[in-house]
Amino acid sequence: AQRVTQPEKLLSVFKGAPVELKCNYSYSGSPELFWYVQYSRQRLQLLLRHISRESIKGFTADLNKGETSFHLKKPFAQEEDSAMYYCALDGSGNTGKLIFGQGTTLQVKP
Amino acid sequence: GAVVSQHPSRVICKSGTSVKIECRSLDFQATTMFWYRQFPKQSLMLMATSNEGSKATYEQGVEKDKFLINHASLTLSTLTVTSAHPEDSSFYICSARPGHNQPQHFGDGTRLSIL
Protein backbone atom coordinates (compact mmCIF):
# COMPACT_ATOMS: atom_id res chain seq x y z
CA ALA A 1 0.00 0.00 0.00
CA GLN A 2 1.11 3.54 -0.68
CA ARG A 3 1.78 5.49 2.47
CA VAL A 4 3.58 8.60 3.63
CA THR A 5 4.76 8.89 7.20
CA GLN A 6 5.84 12.04 8.98
CA PRO A 7 6.78 10.85 12.44
CA GLU A 8 6.90 14.24 14.13
CA LYS A 9 3.74 16.23 14.74
CA LEU A 10 5.67 19.17 16.10
CA LEU A 11 9.24 20.27 15.65
CA SER A 12 10.40 23.24 17.68
CA VAL A 13 13.81 24.87 17.08
CA PHE A 14 15.50 28.15 17.75
CA LYS A 15 16.21 30.66 15.02
CA GLY A 16 19.47 29.85 13.28
CA ALA A 17 19.39 26.16 14.20
CA PRO A 18 19.36 23.45 11.53
CA VAL A 19 16.05 21.85 10.68
CA GLU A 20 15.19 18.41 9.40
CA LEU A 21 11.58 17.37 8.87
CA LYS A 22 11.36 13.65 8.33
CA CYS A 23 9.33 11.92 5.67
CA ASN A 24 9.29 8.23 4.84
CA TYR A 25 7.22 6.64 2.15
CA SER A 26 6.01 3.23 1.15
CA TYR A 27 5.70 2.59 -2.57
CA SER A 28 6.97 -0.20 -4.77
CA GLY A 29 7.57 1.80 -7.94
CA SER A 30 9.26 5.10 -8.72
CA PRO A 31 7.40 7.76 -6.82
CA GLU A 32 7.24 11.45 -7.30
CA LEU A 33 7.59 13.25 -3.98
CA PHE A 34 6.69 16.72 -2.88
CA TRP A 35 6.86 18.99 0.11
CA TYR A 36 3.95 21.37 0.59
CA VAL A 37 3.84 24.18 3.14
CA GLN A 38 0.91 25.92 4.74
CA TYR A 39 1.61 29.20 6.50
CA SER A 40 -0.86 30.50 9.03
CA ARG A 41 -4.20 31.40 7.42
CA GLN A 42 -2.91 30.64 3.94
CA ARG A 43 -3.55 27.92 1.42
CA LEU A 44 -1.38 24.91 0.87
CA GLN A 45 1.44 25.71 -1.54
CA LEU A 46 4.19 23.73 -3.16
CA LEU A 47 7.58 24.12 -1.53
CA LEU A 48 9.59 21.73 -3.67
CA ARG A 49 9.43 18.51 -5.68
CA HIS A 50 12.17 15.96 -5.93
CA ILE A 51 12.42 15.89 -9.71
CA SER A 52 13.29 19.57 -9.92
CA ARG A 53 16.10 19.26 -7.37
CA GLU A 54 15.70 22.93 -6.51
CA SER A 55 16.40 24.74 -3.29
CA ILE A 56 13.46 26.89 -2.28
CA LYS A 57 13.72 29.38 0.60
CA GLY A 58 16.87 27.57 1.64
CA PHE A 59 15.13 24.21 1.92
CA THR A 60 16.37 21.08 0.19
CA ALA A 61 15.16 17.52 0.10
CA ASP A 62 16.89 14.48 -1.34
CA LEU A 63 15.10 11.34 -2.35
CA ASN A 64 16.77 8.32 -0.79
CA LYS A 65 15.28 5.26 -2.42
CA GLY A 66 17.29 2.88 -0.25
CA GLU A 67 15.82 4.34 2.91
CA THR A 68 12.54 5.34 1.20
CA SER A 69 12.92 8.79 2.66
CA PHE A 70 12.51 12.36 1.48
CA HIS A 71 13.55 14.45 4.46
CA LEU A 72 13.31 18.24 4.26
CA LYS A 73 16.32 20.17 5.48
CA LYS A 74 17.40 23.72 6.07
CA PRO A 75 20.73 24.65 7.62
CA PHE A 76 19.56 27.79 9.44
CA ALA A 77 15.91 28.14 10.40
CA GLN A 78 14.18 31.52 10.25
CA GLU A 79 11.12 32.62 12.21
CA GLU A 80 9.18 33.00 8.98
CA ASP A 81 9.67 29.29 8.34
CA SER A 82 7.14 28.53 11.08
CA ALA A 83 4.33 26.67 9.32
CA MET A 84 2.76 23.28 8.72
CA TYR A 85 4.72 21.08 6.34
CA TYR A 86 3.26 18.16 4.44
CA CYS A 87 5.15 15.51 2.56
CA ALA A 88 3.19 14.03 -0.35
CA LEU A 89 3.57 11.19 -2.81
CA ASP A 90 2.25 10.77 -6.32
CA GLY A 91 2.78 7.11 -6.95
CA SER A 92 0.18 6.50 -9.57
CA GLY A 93 2.01 7.29 -12.77
CA ASN A 94 1.86 11.04 -12.31
CA THR A 95 -1.90 11.14 -12.31
CA GLY A 96 -1.79 13.91 -9.76
CA LYS A 97 -3.44 11.88 -7.03
CA LEU A 98 -1.48 12.85 -3.97
CA ILE A 99 -1.08 10.87 -0.78
CA PHE A 100 -0.22 13.14 2.10
CA GLY A 101 1.62 12.54 5.32
CA GLN A 102 0.16 13.66 8.62
CA GLY A 103 2.04 16.92 8.53
CA THR A 104 4.64 18.42 10.84
CA THR A 105 4.27 21.78 12.50
CA LEU A 106 7.56 23.64 12.50
CA GLN A 107 7.89 26.23 15.20
CA VAL A 108 10.93 28.49 15.00
CA LYS A 109 11.50 30.40 18.20
CA PRO A 110 13.35 33.73 18.33
CA GLY B 1 1.02 32.21 -11.06
CA ALA B 2 -1.71 29.62 -11.24
CA VAL B 3 -4.59 30.33 -8.87
CA VAL B 4 -7.37 28.06 -7.70
CA SER B 5 -10.39 29.70 -6.15
CA GLN B 6 -12.76 27.85 -3.88
CA HIS B 7 -16.17 29.06 -2.78
CA PRO B 8 -17.65 29.34 -0.24
CA SER B 9 -14.95 29.44 2.39
CA ARG B 10 -17.34 28.49 5.15
CA VAL B 11 -20.78 26.92 5.30
CA ILE B 12 -22.98 26.24 8.28
CA CYS B 13 -26.26 24.48 7.60
CA LYS B 14 -28.83 22.15 9.03
CA SER B 15 -28.72 18.41 8.81
CA GLY B 16 -30.43 17.09 5.70
CA THR B 17 -29.60 19.95 3.38
CA SER B 18 -27.34 19.72 0.36
CA VAL B 19 -24.31 21.92 0.02
CA LYS B 20 -22.47 22.82 -3.17
CA ILE B 21 -18.80 23.82 -3.17
CA GLU B 22 -17.18 25.35 -6.23
CA CYS B 23 -13.58 25.05 -7.35
CA ARG B 24 -12.34 27.29 -10.15
CA SER B 25 -9.01 27.54 -11.89
CA LEU B 26 -8.73 31.27 -12.51
CA ASP B 27 -5.92 31.58 -15.02
CA PHE B 28 -5.48 28.13 -16.47
CA GLN B 29 -7.54 25.26 -17.77
CA ALA B 30 -7.69 22.03 -15.87
CA THR B 31 -9.04 18.82 -17.36
CA THR B 32 -8.56 17.23 -13.97
CA MET B 33 -9.26 18.57 -10.52
CA PHE B 34 -9.01 16.84 -7.18
CA TRP B 35 -11.12 16.94 -4.05
CA TYR B 36 -9.63 16.30 -0.62
CA ARG B 37 -11.09 16.11 2.84
CA GLN B 38 -9.29 17.03 6.02
CA PHE B 39 -10.50 16.18 9.50
CA PRO B 40 -9.22 18.22 12.46
CA LYS B 41 -5.59 17.57 13.22
CA GLN B 42 -5.39 15.03 10.43
CA SER B 43 -3.94 14.93 6.98
CA LEU B 44 -5.60 15.54 3.63
CA MET B 45 -7.34 12.50 2.22
CA LEU B 46 -8.07 12.29 -1.49
CA MET B 47 -11.78 11.79 -2.05
CA ALA B 48 -12.11 11.85 -5.82
CA THR B 49 -10.68 12.92 -9.12
CA SER B 50 -12.89 15.23 -11.12
CA ASN B 51 -12.61 14.76 -14.88
CA GLU B 52 -13.87 17.39 -17.31
CA GLY B 53 -16.64 16.02 -19.46
CA SER B 54 -16.76 12.60 -17.83
CA LYS B 55 -17.57 10.91 -14.57
CA ALA B 56 -15.49 11.47 -11.50
CA THR B 57 -13.44 8.63 -10.10
CA TYR B 58 -13.83 8.07 -6.39
CA GLU B 59 -11.36 6.68 -3.89
CA GLN B 60 -12.21 3.58 -1.98
CA GLY B 61 -14.69 4.22 0.79
CA VAL B 62 -16.04 7.47 -0.62
CA GLU B 63 -19.74 7.36 -1.40
CA LYS B 64 -20.33 8.72 -4.88
CA ASP B 65 -24.01 9.29 -4.22
CA LYS B 66 -23.19 11.32 -1.15
CA PHE B 67 -20.48 13.42 -2.77
CA LEU B 68 -21.61 14.41 -6.24
CA ILE B 69 -18.95 15.86 -8.48
CA ASN B 70 -19.57 17.77 -11.67
CA HIS B 71 -16.80 19.08 -13.92
CA ALA B 72 -18.73 20.80 -16.66
CA SER B 73 -16.00 23.09 -17.94
CA LEU B 74 -12.23 23.29 -18.04
CA THR B 75 -12.20 25.81 -15.21
CA LEU B 76 -14.93 24.65 -12.85
CA SER B 77 -15.58 21.61 -10.72
CA THR B 78 -18.29 21.40 -8.11
CA LEU B 79 -18.68 19.09 -5.14
CA THR B 80 -22.18 18.68 -3.74
CA VAL B 81 -22.57 17.08 -0.36
CA THR B 82 -26.06 15.65 -0.51
CA SER B 83 -28.32 15.30 2.49
CA ALA B 84 -25.49 16.37 4.74
CA HIS B 85 -25.22 15.07 8.29
CA PRO B 86 -23.00 16.13 11.19
CA GLU B 87 -20.44 13.46 10.33
CA ASP B 88 -19.91 15.20 6.98
CA SER B 89 -18.59 18.24 8.82
CA SER B 90 -15.02 18.70 7.67
CA PHE B 91 -12.62 20.85 5.71
CA TYR B 92 -12.88 20.25 1.96
CA ILE B 93 -10.04 21.33 -0.32
CA CYS B 94 -9.76 21.23 -4.08
CA SER B 95 -6.71 21.32 -6.29
CA ALA B 96 -5.87 21.54 -9.96
CA ARG B 97 -2.79 21.54 -12.14
CA PRO B 98 -2.15 23.40 -15.39
CA GLY B 99 -0.63 20.40 -17.14
CA HIS B 100 0.30 16.78 -16.75
CA ASN B 101 3.77 17.41 -15.36
CA GLN B 102 2.90 20.55 -13.49
CA PRO B 103 2.53 20.75 -9.71
CA GLN B 104 -0.88 21.06 -8.16
CA HIS B 105 -2.33 24.30 -6.91
CA PHE B 106 -4.73 24.28 -4.02
CA GLY B 107 -7.79 26.27 -3.15
CA ASP B 108 -8.26 27.90 0.24
CA GLY B 109 -10.62 25.18 1.36
CA THR B 110 -14.22 25.16 2.56
CA ARG B 111 -15.10 24.54 6.17
CA LEU B 112 -18.40 22.72 6.29
CA SER B 113 -20.31 22.53 9.56
CA ILE B 114 -23.54 20.56 9.72
CA LEU B 115 -25.71 21.23 12.73
The answer to whether A47 faces chain B, any CB pair under 8 Å, is no
What is the mean predicted confidence (pLDDT) over B69-89? 94
Closest residue in chain B to residue A37, using alpha carbons only: B106
pLDDT at B54 over 80: yes
Predicted local confidence at residue A54, as pLDDT? 77
* pLDDT, tens digit (0-9, with 9 covering 90-100), for A19-63: 999 999 998 878 889 999 999 989 999 999 888 777 789 999 989
**Dihedral sign for Cα atoms in the order B66, B92, B56, B24:** positive
Share of chain B residues as helix, strand and coil, in percent rounded to the nearest 5: 5, 50, 45
- Residue B21: pLDDT band (50, 70, 90) is very high
Chain B residues touching residue A45 (CB < 8 angstroms): 105-106
Residues A90 and A34 sit within 8 Å (Cβ to Cβ)? yes
Q: Can you tell me the distance from the alpha carbon of B108 to that of A17, in angstroms, rounded to the nearest whole number?
A: 31
Residues 65-104 of A with CB under 8 A from B: 86, 94-103
* pLDDT, tens digit (0-9, with 9 covering 90-100), for A64-77: 989 999 999 999 99
What value does the mean pLDDT of chain A take?
92
The answer to whether B62 faces chain A, any CB pair under 8 Å, is no
Please indicate whether residue B41 or residue B20 has the higher confidence score (pLDDT). Answer: B20
